[in-house]
Structures are given as C-alpha cells and as structure tokens.
Amino acid sequence: MSEFVEREDTAVYETDEPVLYRVENGVAIVTMCRSRYNNVQNSQMTYALDDCFQRAINDDAVKVIVLGATGKHFSAGHDIGTPGRDVTKSFERKHLLWDHTNKPGGEFLYVREQEVYLNMCRRWRDMPKPTIAMVQGGCIAGGLMLAWVCDLIVASEDAFFQDPVVRMGIPGVEYFAHAFEMHPRIAKEFLFLGERMPASRAFELGMVNRIVPRDELEAQTLEIAQRVAEQPRMGLALTKQAVNHIEDLQGKRTGMEAAFAWHHFAHVHNEQVSGDKLGGFDGKAMAARNKAQAKEKGGDQ
C-alpha cells in the first residue's frame, strides 16, 4: 500500500462568513451562522471560530467571550454530509501535526481529528478569558464539544443535548468530557440511549448554569457576561486556570486521551467491517427517529 493517497476534493467552498465577530462593552460575541445547515461544523467554520477566539484573546478590551449561533439550533454537530463538507481540504494547522489530507487508512482521520476536534477543543477550553455558551435548540454531538469547552452554559428553554455517536459504533464524540459533565451513570445513559436530554434535565445535573426563555437568551447571557467582565482580568484567568487544573488532576485530560484512542479504534474497525469510518451512520434516519420520539413526548421537533 502506498504511503500517500489521492482524494478528490469535492467540497463546495462557501463564501459567506461561517462565523461572525463583534465586541460590545468588553464582551466578544462569536456567532456561528451556518444555520441553513443547523450550524454543523466543517473545517472552514472550525478555523473561523479559532480565528475569532484568537482575536478576542489578543484584544485587551475583551474580558469575556460569548459563543452563540443563529437560527433554530446551536449546532447539530460535525459536518458529515453538506456540500461544504471539507474534510479533504488542507488548512493552515494550529497544532504541530502533519497534513492529513493525502494519508491512507486510519491515519487520515487520526491526524485530522486531533487537529480540528481534540486539540482545538482543548485549546479553546483553556483560553485565559471566561467563555459562555449561549445555547438554543439542538446541541448535538460535535455541538456538545463547543458548549462543553465553555466555562458557563446558558440555555434557552427549547435547548436539548444529545450524543448519538454510539449509533456509529463509536464511544461518543472526540472531546470525551461526558463523565465530567454529568455523573458517570447518567453519562452512560446519555450515551447508551443517545436520546435528547432537555435543558431542564441538563440544568438539574449542573451541566447548564441557567435556563431562560428563548427570546431572552441573548439579553440574559450578555447581562451575565457583563457582570463577569467587571472582575479583574488576572482574577478571572487564574480562577479559570485553577478550576481547569483541578479537573485535569481528576483525570479529565488523561481520560480524554484514552477515549480518543478508543474512538479511533472504532473508526478503523468500522472501516474494516463496512468500508465506512462512520459505520454507515444514517443521519436522516436519526432525524426521523428523533422527530417520532419528540412527537410521542408532545414536543414540536
């Protein structure tokens, strides 16, 4: 087998900005705006998010960063099927990793997912300024990763959280924080069933800080951000570092390393068994199941 492979780049390049950036009274507001695809994340969006975060860190006037999204849903995960899916495109990497695009077998995803998922999320989680996720609608799979890297999560009443990745034969998303975000027993239920967890349940578990009406989501989140922004910069940075360090002492970082390796064992296993790294996952079938489930429970999704 050759050390290199040719892959056709079939992505349709999107010219609209996938992420918007603005600053209001010391708060940077980073907004995902690929809402026509429920804000699923392609690499273009991931690197755009990173650029916005970098900009916010570099700006001394910015004290707090808010991450939100336009449209009905915060994020339906990683892009596994829009015309703008750009996994075969090479971007200027943010970590000391080699290019994944022309690599065979498991190397392709192993390198790419370290760069754009695991390392990017860990880098965002450790940003020295406080971050607040502002979540409405679906926060699914890769969407969880974006919310979980934030220090606080404010959710609207219609928000729900879901990791259906076990359906692909894979033990959850690449940033495996599940057993830190919720009790391990609940984390298992969340993963085994892969069902939607409503905001109210996420709040009970301490995964979400506040639940607010949908039409007050931005105003209430910005109000909290303003109050955090009144604290001294060093006080905030050191407090964040202290809490994150304690989580790491509890095994968050090393646990994630192991889960990432198992995640990739699953990708390779899938490829060997079915020829598809995602195990023949059918996103449309899942959406239909979700709809039926929500209908049973009287929801409108």
Element (H, E) at 131: strand 131-135
**Which range of residues in 66-74, 97-105, 111-119, 125-133 is near Zn ion by CB under 5 A?**
111-119
Smaller CB distance to Zn ion: residue 113 or 115? Answer: 113
Rg of the chain over all Cα atoms, to the nearest angstrom = 19
Q: Interface with Zn ion by CB under 5 A: which range of 7-15, 109-117, 176-184, 292-300? A: 109-117
Contact 84, 12 (CB under 8 A): yes
# of chain residues touching Zn ion (CB under 5 A): 1
- Find the binding residues for Zn ion in span 144-163 (CB under 5 A): none
Here the tokens at position 118 are 């695991």
Q: How far is the CB of 141 from Zn ion (least distance, A)?
A: 10
Least gap, CB of 113 to Zn ion (angstroms)? 5
Q: Least Å distance between CB 80 and Zn ion?
A: 10
Residues with Cβ within 8 Å of residue 229, at least 6 apart in sequence: 25, 26, 27, 63, 64
Measured from the Cβ of residue 106, the count of other Cβ atoms closer than 10 Å reads: 16
Shortest Cβ 265–Zn ion spacing (Å) = 11
Q: Which residue is nearest to Zn ion (CB)?
A: 113
Residues 279-298 that bind Zn ion (CB under 5 A): none
Task: Reduce the secondary structure of 187-240 to three states and give it as a string.
Answer: HHHHHHHCCCEEHHHHHHCCCCCEEECHHHHHHHHHHHHHHHHCCCHHHHHHHH
Q: How far is the CB of 277 from Zn ion (least distance, A)?
A: 8
Give the DSSP letter of residue 78: B
Quick one: 160 or 281, whose CB is closer to Zn ion?
281
Closest distance to Zn ion from the beta carbon of 204 (Å): 29
Residue with Cβ nearer Zn ion (127 or 191) = 191
Comparison of 29 and 141: residue with beta carbon closer to Zn ion: 141
Please, which residue, 62 or 177, has the CB nearer to Zn ion? 177
Nearer to Zn ion, 79 or 113 (CB): 113
Q: Is 167 left (phi over 0), alpha (psi -120 to 50) or beta?
A: alpha
First to last CA, the chain: 47
- Contact 143/39 with Cβ under 8 angstroms? yes
Distance CA 178, CA 281 (A): 21
Show the tokens assigned to 301: 């999704």
By C-beta, is 173 or 187 nearer to Zn ion? 173
Whose Cβ is closer to Zn ion: residue 113's or residue 158's?
Answer: 113
- In whole angstroms, the minimum distance from the beta carbon of 54 to Zn ion comes to 24
Considering only the stretches 88-96, 108-116, 230-238, 247-255, report the one whose residues sit in contact with Zn ion under the rule CB under 5 A.
Answer: 108-116
The least CB distance from residue 158 to Zn ion, in Å, is: 28
Which residues contact Zn ion by CB under 5 A?
A: 113
